[in-house]
């Protein structure tokens, strides 16, 4: 069970990180000041995507819990931004990813805590 939860959390976290990175990379096609801002966003998104892959390949539960938590926060804030911009898809997509990430994160965290208590 623990192994399956780890891989599920890893898959969800990687999918979330690469989805975020994809949108940041797509924004690089903008011009002027928006292009510079997009480069900053892409650097952060690509770093989180790389970190998500590294912690999964290293099989680090603590690392995965940390990156999954950060990605849940990123997606939740993206959903808020989508709501402020009145864009339903830019609200619902990130909100869904945030909720799924939190669900698998909590499941893995509870499993980890049970193992440590034993």
The pLDDT-based confidence of 113 (bands split at 50, 70, 90) is confident
Lookup: tokens for 76: 């939740």
**Could you identify the residue written with the tokens 């911009």?**
85
Its pTM stands at 0.91
Mean pLDDT along residues 20-46: 94
Compute and round to an integer the Cα radius of gyration of the chain: 15
Burial 71-105 (b: 16+ CB within 10 A, else e): bbebbbebbeebeeeeeeebbebbbebbebbbebb
Mean pLDDT along residues 58-76: 97
**Could you identify the residue written with the tokens 């969800």?**
12
- The number of CA neighbours under 13 Å toward the Cβ of 95 is 11
The whole-angstrom distance between residue 10's C-alpha and the CA centroid of its chain comes to 10
Lookup: tokens for 17: 């990180």
pLDDT at 87: 95
DSSP assignment of 1-15, as one string? -HHHHHHHHHHHHHH
The pLDDT-based confidence of 1 (bands split at 50, 70, 90) is low
């Amino acid at each position: 069970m623990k192994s399956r939860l780890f891989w599920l959390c890893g898959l969800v976290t990687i999918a979330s990180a690469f989805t975020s990175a994809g949108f940041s990379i797509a924004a690089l096609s903008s011009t002027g000041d928006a292009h510079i801002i997009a480069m900053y966003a892409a650097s952060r998104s690509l770093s989180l995507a790389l970190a998500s892959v590294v912690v999964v390949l290293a099989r680090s539960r603590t690392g995965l819990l940390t990156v999954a938590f950060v990605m849940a926060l990123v997606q939740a804030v993206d959903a808020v931004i989508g709501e402020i911009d009145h864009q339903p898809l830019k609200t619902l997509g990130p909100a869904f990813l945030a909720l799924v990430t939190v669900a698998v994160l909590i499941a893995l965290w509870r499993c980890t805590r049970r193992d440590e208590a034993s």
